[in-house]
Chains A and B, each alone.
Chain A
């Protein structure tokens, strides 16, 4: 089983992000589970959401205590990052900085992708929650880009410019992360 923690700020869509990830895993024929670290969410406050992906049905229903992967949607959250990520795991940070400049001490690998820049370029707004999963797909290979595209269409609709732009940006983030 792989466990993923997604950190964002209230309003950034970390919860939606974990849901899209769960749908994508399902599209890939896997079992999945997505859930927010239940809070009284406020705009701008740190928000945590979890996802589990496995080949077999998932019985575990506690919080995630040691993640395989972390996705940080807002680089300012790196400063207060206190999640345990497995040694040899991966932390993806939406940042224009270099990994060594990210103030996280962990034996997991840190990768920075400037997702906000791609979002502003293609979507025109800093919507990073869904397209960040492109980096996850490229770097972890846990789910395919095709499954992600399907999941985006399912969750935010198959028509309309928002879905189209998200998918275009998703692909760009995927390419940029390879």
Chain B
């Protein structure tokens, strides 16, 4: 089938949007575990491969552990790859995730955020990805199907920038975005090719420049590997805004500065901050409260790792109160985002309160988010927004 040169706007799901973006990014290897808790992403990609619309090797592996391992293998040979998973599937990949990042492979993976079972639950929250926060993967969260499409393309460019060379997780809320149908602008192949040139690996098994992968790093070198990754994460804080700008120029859409997006923050006294689809509903809350004369703003956190501390500090300088909405709970303490924000803002006058919300698919609606804002306006403590 001929490549689609023409851009078109279609009504598709968040998962479809990612699959369409992946196709345009031309990965060569797609290791997938084709069963629950996977998503429509591998299903669509497998159709594209079957139809001949996509030239890639789809490997139906026997588990997500193998999917991540095969993704590692693909990058070790120097080709672009992709995989997708969710929930328990991501948990099963846990062991391989830091091996991919420490090998500095610029892999891209889509995660349809779903909770981790216990008790059994298949619905949305951020427990799966947030639990993998410390494994050296850049984590980008999306609010809409369009953003999922755009972020997937940007993810390859960010990951493959040589001074970054780290894997990227593109996170979309399971069901709350993965299964939501809405209009998405699908870009043409040549435009995407111009933005994302063919993959030029810097780090792979090359007979003309032999390297060892998977070797032991003794205590005298292991530390330096992680130090190098940390430096790459700090580089990513500069590269992500740059890629976001370039994307904006090429396609006419960008997402704040690529790390955070500020909504009505200029004269805000109180603000909400969160990730993923709850940001959309928060926009409605801010609009509503602004109309009533309340100086309320919103910070959309698109990038959880690396953590854009400077951007957040800047945005929160004049705030009196910040309501952090965590779609995750670090049992025994607070939500991951709340912990990060309290640390980042420790020297500021803003009072930070954490609200755990939406666990296991519980809806996050206008009423709940508004209650969080009203709580900080009264100077009261955060709580579980059941």
Interface window among B66-74, B174-182, B196-204, B343-351: B174-182
- With A19-B11, A59-B281, A63-B363 as known contacts, state yes or no: A32 contacts B180, CB within 8 Å: no
Q: A65-90 vs B: 1/0 string, CB under 8 Å?
A: 10000000000000000000000000
How far is B145's CA from A32's CA once the two chains are assembled, in angstroms? 12
B188 beta carbon closer than 8 Å to chain A: no
How far is B176's CA from A34's CA once the two chains are assembled, in angstroms? 10
Q: A1-32 vs B: 1/0 string, CB under 8 Å?
A: 00000000000000000110011001000011
Q: Assess the B181–A33 pair: CB atoms within 8 A.
A: yes
B364 beta carbon closer than 8 Å to chain A: yes
Shortest CB distance B160–A (Å): 31
Shortest CB distance B174–A (Å): 8
Shortest CB distance B4–A (Å): 15
Chain B residues with Cβ below 8 Å from A36 are: 175, 179
Kindly state the interface size class of chain B when it binds its partner: 20 to 34
How far is B177's CA from A78's CA once the two chains are assembled, in angstroms? 29
Shortest CB distance A172–B (Å): 25
Q: Which residue of A lies closest to B9 (CB)?
A: A26
Q: Which residue of A lies closest to B366 (CB)?
A: A62
Q: Assess the B180–A33 pair: CB atoms within 8 A.
A: yes
- With A59-B280, A59-B284, A62-B363 as known contacts, state yes or no: A31 contacts B181, CB within 8 Å: no
How far is B283's CA from A65's CA once the two chains are assembled, in angstroms? 18
- With A32-B11, A40-B122 as known contacts, state yes or no: A26 contacts B183, CB within 8 Å: yes
How far is B363's CA from A18's CA once the two chains are assembled, in angstroms? 19
Chain A residues with Cβ below 8 Å from B175 are: 35-36, 38
Give the A-B pair count, Cβ closer than 8 A.
64
- With A26-B11, A62-B364 as known contacts, state yes or no: A35 contacts B281, CB within 8 Å: no
Q: B100-144 vs A: 1/0 string, CB under 8 Å?
A: 000000000000000000000011100000000000000000010
Q: Which residue of A lies closest to B173 (CB)?
A: A61
Q: B284-305 vs A: 1/0 string, CB under 8 Å?
A: 1000000000000000000000
A58 beta carbon closer than 8 Å to chain B: yes
A43 beta carbon closer than 8 Å to chain B: no
Question: Which of A23, A31, A61, A65 is in CB contact (< 8 Å) with B180?
Answer: A61
Q: Assess the A31–B183 pair: CB atoms within 8 A.
A: yes
Residue among A18, A31, A33 having the largest count of chain B Cβ atoms under 10 Å: A33
Q: Which residue of A lies closest to B286 (CB)?
A: A59
Residue among A19, A36, A38, A61 having the largest count of chain B Cβ atoms under 10 Å: A61
Chain A residues with Cβ below 8 Å from B182 are: 22, 31-34, 58
Q: Assess the B181–A35 pair: CB atoms within 8 A.
A: yes
Q: Assess the B281–A62 pair: CB atoms within 8 A.
A: yes
Q: Assess the A34–B181 pair: CB atoms within 8 A.
A: yes
Q: Assess the A65–B365 pair: CB atoms within 8 A.
A: yes
Q: Given A26-B183, A32-B11, 17 more contacts at CB 8 Å?
A: A18-B181, A19-B11, A22-B181, A23-B181, A33-B180, A33-B182, A36-B175, A38-B175, A59-B281, A59-B284, A60-B280, A61-B176, A61-B277, A61-B281, A62-B365, A62-B366, A63-B365
A-B contact pairs, 26 of them (CB 8 A): A19-B181, A22-B181, A22-B182, A23-B11, A23-B181, A26-B183, A31-B183, A32-B182, A33-B180, A33-B181, A34-B180, A34-B182, A35-B175, A35-B179, A35-B181, A36-B175, A38-B123, A58-B182, A59-B281, A59-B284, A61-B177, A61-B277, A61-B280, A61-B281, A62-B365, A62-B366
